[in-house]
A and B are shown apart, each in its own frame.
Chain A
């Protein structure tokens, strides 16, 4: 088996007295698509934000190719450039067009030459079906379109891992599909991804591993086939039962 790209070790995170993550351990290897499921407040998003240090871990380590990620400075920026993130609220830069959004990282962070930045932007905007909108500003797009642009922007950096933080939770129901389809396509192309989601069907069909989190613990970490049809832990069973009923 290949070396893990990211390894989370003994990760704990507290906000004040409230411990949100309690000793989390897991790793992701090249080509894996991990979906993290669990009820709201179980710590899924916090875990994802800790992985790229948007939240500072209280204790424990994030290892990237077996090297601990530093809390600050240049090496953290370099690490973040290799680990992309797609947010629930898109976070496209409102002062830039779609085209400039997709070139912002390649230009200002990777310092690639202009032609390369442009061709990467076009390639990935085509990939998500947003190339005709290069001249639009984020405010002129629908939620689903914004999220597809955000995915293209992340892809332009050629990330080793792409993190998705509830990418469809802020979308109208009819737009969820277009974003999930793009993500499914990326999974098919072998992109390594960690996806926090409430879309159970998607997790079941697309992920190579599913992690169920509850109350700050990783309760179950298994292939989706096992986890969804034959959950070992009673808490997982109860969660899935509640989900299937609703």
Chain B
């Protein structure tokens, strides 16, 4: 706790004090803890989501790649196996609650003698969860790009991978940004379930702080406000990103070439 919080800290409100006063008191008294927890929440959500997005794009690309009967046998076998793995992974993670996934991964790893810190396990769960959901979103985003775009790329001699990378994914990316925003904000809130494996994010800290004065309602009000501010800010940021990627609506005529018309 910083010095300023001590200076601000008044005596505990009396019995006749209202919830707002208690909430403010708790927020001040445990400001340092709340700040640390906010940082942990952001850290887990941001890194988990970012890596999860990459995983999601990989899953989406694998799910939309086609196996041609003309391809080499090894390539065909390899891509079949890869797709089978991806399909099982997506299904399992979409059909189980994140809180249960957290428990299984954390305690499962511990039981098999892998020393993993709660935060690392928390990030891992977020990554795997995001990857599964984003995989489906990216698949839909890729399918929403006009088929002619890939044909145009193939016809000039690009491979499927090059067409994906230079032509299709940049367009699919724009299509899925609103959904990426949703996923990120959802992840910010879903980190709260990670308290069950001991990640000291906001929810766990609220439980601790509330417990010391037996003021749970007020304590959760404090983190509700923090979650709200975080999500509000990130929603706006994603809105800005979406606008920026729309690009300019007009263009500059290259007048130096005008006389050639």
| A228 CB-CB contact with B under 8 Å | no
| A29 CB-CB contact with B under 8 Å | no
Q: Complex formed: what's the CA distance from A19 to B104 in Å?
A: 55
Q: Do B260 and A131 touch (CB < 8 A)? A: yes
Q: Complex formed: what's the CA distance from A80 to B156 in Å?
A: 6
Partner of A77, one of B157, B247, B257: B157
Interface residues of B in 167-198 (CB under 8 A from A): 167, 170-171, 174
Partner of A154, one of B156, B158, B166: B156
CB closest chain-B residue, reference A79? B157
| B74 CB-CB contact with A under 8 Å | no
Q: Complex formed: what's the CA distance from A71 to B75 in Å?
A: 15
Q: B241 to nearest A CB, angstroms?
A: 16
Q: Complex formed: what's the CA distance from A48 to B207 in Å?
A: 69
Q: Complex formed: what's the CA distance from A136 to B251 in Å?
A: 5
| B2 CB-CB contact with A under 8 Å | no
Q: Which candidate, A4-12, A82-90, A184-192, A198-206, is the interface stretch facing chain B?
A: A82-90
Interface residues of B in 203-257 (CB under 8 A from A): 247, 250-255, 257
CB closest chain-B residue, reference A93? B167
Q: Do B254 and A129 touch (CB < 8 A)? A: no
Q: In the complex, which residues of chain A have a beta carbon less than 8 angstroms from the beta carbon of B252?
A: 135
Q: Do B155 and A77 touch (CB < 8 A)? A: no
Indicate the member of B70, B162, B254, B261 with the most A CB atoms within 10 Å. B254
Q: Complex formed: what's the CA distance from A161 to B247 in Å?
A: 36
| A60 CB-CB contact with B under 8 Å | no
Indicate the member of B151, B152, B158 with the most A CB atoms within 10 Å. B152
- Number of A residues whose C-beta is below 8 Å from B? 43
Indicate the member of B157, B251, B260 with the most A CB atoms within 10 Å. B157
Q: B250 to nearest A CB, angstroms?
A: 8
Q: Do A87 and B251 touch (CB < 8 A)? A: no
Q: A129-B261, A132-B254, A136-B251 given as contacts; is B159 within 8 A of A77 (CB)?
A: yes
Q: Do B149 and A94 touch (CB < 8 A)? A: yes
Q: Do B260 and A126 touch (CB < 8 A)? A: yes
Q: In the complex, which residues of chain A have a beta carbon less than 8 angstroms from the beta carbon of B260?
A: 126, 129, 131-132
Q: Do A80 and B155 touch (CB < 8 A)? A: yes
Q: Do A89 and B247 touch (CB < 8 A)? A: no
Q: A133-B254, A135-B254, A140-B251 given as contacts; is B155 within 8 A of A85 (CB)?
A: yes
Q: A91-B148, A95-B171, A136-B251 given as contacts; is B162 within 8 A of A108 (CB)?
A: yes
Q: Complex formed: what's the CA distance from A102 to B59 in Å?
A: 31
| B114 CB-CB contact with A under 8 Å | no
Partner of B158, one of A84, A109, A136: A109
Q: B78 to nearest A CB, angstroms?
A: 15
Q: In the complex, which residues of chain A have a beta carbon less than 8 angstroms from the beta carbon of B167?
A: 93, 95, 104
Q: In the complex, which residues of chain B have a beta carbon less than 8 angstroms from the beta carbon of A71?
A: 68, 70
| A52 CB-CB contact with B under 8 Å | yes
CB closest chain-B residue, reference A127? B260
Residues of B that sit less than 8 Å from A by CB: 68, 70-71, 146, 148-149, 151-159, 162, 166-167, 170-171, 174, 247, 250-255, 257-258, 260-261
What are 26 sample pairs from A and B whose C-beta atoms fall under 8 A apart? A52-B155, A54-B151, A54-B154, A56-B68, A74-B159, A79-B157, A80-B157, A81-B156, A87-B151, A87-B155, A90-B148, A91-B152, A93-B152, A93-B153, A94-B149, A95-B171, A95-B174, A97-B251, A104-B156, A108-B162, A126-B257, A126-B260, A132-B253, A137-B251, A140-B250, A157-B156
